[in-house]
Amino acid sequence: MGRKIIPIGPYHPLQDEPEFFKLHVDGETVVDIDIELGYNHRLVEKIAESKNFDQVAFMVERICGICSTSHPFAYVNAIDDLLGVKAPERALYIRTAIGELERIHSHLLWLGLAGHFLGYNTVWMWAWRYREPVLDIFERVAGNRQNYGMMKPGGVRRDLYEEDFPWIKKTLRDLIPKIDMFKGAVMDDPVIRARTEGVGVLTKEDCREYCVVGPTARASGVNIDIRRDDPYAAYDKVEWKVCTHEGGDVFGKAVVRILELYESINIVIQCLDKMPKGPIDSGIKDIPPGEGIGRHEAPRGEVVHYIMADGGNSPARHKIRAPSFMNVASNKKAVIGETISDATIILAAVDPCYCCTERMTVVDYKTGKKMMDGQDLIRLSREKTERLRNR
């Protein structure tokens, strides 16, 4: 008998994370948007000051449930920068492999959600189904499907075992035909193209003004990627390329993310092939006074961690900047002037870490009256796809 899988759902935290978008509309057109944050503010930066350096890695892992290793990755980079020493070679490869595996499952998750918002529920189901094997890899190497607890100042907490490598590589290679299928579905489907091309365009100038990062910037032809620009871990020891698109629209963002899936698979396989034997932890004892800045290219863009140490065993100041902090603000530019049926997919296109369309309300520009909520908007979006399909 093979393994049995018990499905748990259908509730998923992604759609219930709190963020409040208020769309102001004039007829069908969005004329303004108010973005309100802070419904789930935990003041993690303050809590970090009461934890020791080892515990902080666990704590920042709990900031995000999707890209849970992004924050610890940036945090250990900050500690490396503070100390001026790198972790052992093997640990650097393991960090890279974990970071890229996470990008694969995070991008697949976004792809599924984008399909769901457009009314392609098959895409949603399939994308999330093919995400499962990636989570199985995490379960095998870390014991957890999320919150892997792999990052540690000075190294990694767990080793990867050589006997797992053939299975991991096969699982990832099996994913490639599936991604080909998604690529074909997005590139060739006239309805998806009609719904996404030229929709929610961010120009290069908008990207500069709002300082957006990650796939949101790369889809507008802004060629930035921290993994290449400020190399850390083993990113300068493996071969890969930065994926960009010139469109700046929702379609461009989808294309960039799909192409990045191939690169990530490529990076993980190279890491497993090139990984040297040796220690995985440099055994840091004390953190001297000083400051360090760590950056990591998370699935959504650059994460910045700033650590100030005063010689004690916890950070004197820990500043965290997530990519969505920059990207979500750019919605103001992308969504204004578009129709409300496109608003859902535009707001979701930056892959906001706390997208909550449930809490989105539409207010009539003239009367100020509430017209519809998030569910109605998803319905509108699906109806538009249906109309295009039947044409």
Task: Note the residues at the interface with another protein (CB under 8 A).
Answer: 37-38, 41, 43, 45-46, 81, 84, 208-211, 213, 224, 229-231, 291, 293, 295, 302, 304, 306, 308, 316-317, 319, 321, 325-326, 329
What are the tokens at 17?
A: 């994370």
Return the number of the residue (77 or 385) whose C-beta is nearest another protein.
77
DSSP 86-112: PPPHHHHHHHHHHHHHHHHHHHHHHHH
Hey, is 282 helix, strand or coil?
Answer: coil
* Closer to another protein by Cβ: residue 97 or 217: 217
Q: Which of 95, 105 has the CB closer to another protein?
A: 95
Q: Are 121 and 115 in contact (CB under 8 A)?
A: yes
Cβ burial of 9 (10 Å; 0-12, 13-18, 19+) is exposed
CB of 176 or CB of 211, closer to another protein: 211
What is the nearest approach in angstroms of another protein to the Cβ of residue 12?
24
Q: Which is nearer to another protein, 295 or 382 (CB)?
A: 295
User: Closest CB to another protein among 333 and 382?
Assistant: 333
What is the nearest approach in angstroms of another protein to the Cβ of residue 149?
Answer: 26
Minimum CB separation of residue 1 from another protein in Å reads: 50
- Non-local (6+) Cβ contacts of 10 within 8 A are none
- In terms of CB distance, is 168 or 322 closer to another protein? 322
d(CA 168, CA 161): 11
Task: State the minimum distance, in angstroms, from the CB of residue 223 to another protein.
Answer: 8
Give the end-to-end CA distance of the chain in Å, rounded to a whole number. Answer: 48
In DSSP notation, 192-236 reads: HHHHHTTSS---HHHHHHHT--THHHHTTT----HHHHS--TTTT
Task: Please answer whether residues 153 and 76 qualify as being in contact, where contact means their C-beta atoms are separated by less than 8 angstroms.
Answer: yes
Find the shortest distance in angstroms from Cβ 236 to another protein.
Answer: 11
CA–CA distance, 184 with 201 (Å, rounded to integer): 22
Shortest Å distance, C-beta 216 to another protein:
13
CB 301 → another protein: shortest distance, Å? 11
Cβ 186 to another protein shortest distance, Å = 28
User: What DSSP string describes 125-184?
Assistant: HHHHHHHHHHHHHHHHHHS-SS----EETTEESSPPPGGGHHHHHHHHHHHHHHHHHHHH
